[in-house]
Amino acid sequence: MTARTASAKWKGNKAALPSKICTVCHRPFQWRKKWEKHWHEVVYCSQRCRRGRGARVRRQIETP
């Protein structure tokens, strides 16, 4: 399935969009048009989670 046919399939039916779970905040997020070409590489729901990924790991290591 190409990206073009996939996006045409979901037009007007947002409930059918694929979703993933953010690795930092563990919240679900849905497919966005800007991620169309690299959806398989998307891991974070936002720039805030992308920036905060290291801080969360450091906090877990420091906590006894």
- Which pLDDT score is estimated for 43? 93
Domain borders along the chain are 17-62
Bridging pattern class, strands 19-21 and 28-30? antiparallel
Helices (H), 1-64: 3-10, 47-62
pLDDT digits (tens, 9 = 90+) for 2-53: 555 555 565 677 788 899 999 999 999 999 999 999 999 999 999 999 988 7
Residue 1 has pLDDT above 60, yes or no: no
Q: What is the pTM of this model?
A: 0.58
- Which pLDDT score is estimated for 19? 93
16 residue type, one letter: A
